[in-house]
Amino acid sequence: MQPIAVITGAAQGLGSLIAGQLLAEGFHVAITDRDREGAERLARELDPEGGRTLALGLDVTRKEDFTAALSEVEAHLGAPTALVNNAAMTPTTPVMEITPEEFDAVVAINQRGTFFGCQVFGDYFAGRGYGRIVNIASLAGQNGGTASGAHYAASKGAILTLTKVFAGQLAGANVTVNAVAPGPLDLPSVRAAVPPEKLTDIIDRAIPVKRLGNPTFVATTVARLLGDEADFVTGAAWDINGGIHMR
């Protein structure tokens, strides 16, 4: 069976690294993003000869977009076997300054988007008797965050709970659902969101290993959880946080 993965929010950042890792490991990959042009650019970069990728516009706040993407993937790549719910909004607004509109936007993308992805693809995978889902959560959902906004942290905590809910729902159908919960990663988005002096302080004072995380390792962890051999792992949160949160 050809492994075929769908990744949300994959046009840049961690999502793009996950796409590249999965292609390197033999997957065919649907690169989806609200920025369809960005998804198309990445597909051309990663798969210049074509045939192993599909670029799609997908707004994760719309359940119908997941349904449409599923149909497109089936038509152009084949039956998908895996989903990575990666799309996220990551503001760092101080808690007392978060507006109702910003709160709702973050929850809609991070939490609601993950829910719809698990719902649409989980039902499809269950019907076929096989599937792998990985939700990108965060250390912030476990400890409230080191630099992220309260709405971001709350939405990522919800993702950890949704992972358990869908894992229990789908386990009997040979569908696994896991979460990866990274701490601060060495990504351009992190360096852009956190002022340099604050980031240096976080590294020195908050991260026991005193370095930012390697996003490529996160991508390889996702790939392991999407493999056939990961059939006994479900409902778990994989912590990659430099020792900030230990349990």
Q: What separation in angstroms does the CA of 152 have from each of 21, 30, 104, 145, 202?
A: 26, 26, 11, 9, 18
Pairing of strands 237-240, 175-182: parallel
Q: How far is CA 155 from CA 49, 77, 91, 108, 160, in A?
A: 38, 32, 12, 9, 9
Kindly list the catalytic residues.
152
Distance CA 194, CA 45 (A): 29
Separation CA 21–CA 26 (nearest Å): 9
DSSP 8-state symbol, 185: B
* Displacement of CA 80 from its chain's centroid (Å): 16
- Return the exposure string of 121-150: e unless at least 16 CB atoms fall within 10 Å of the residue's CB, then b: bbebbbeeebbbbbbbbbbbbbbebbbbbb
The residues that bridge with 177 in the sheet, in sequence order, are 133
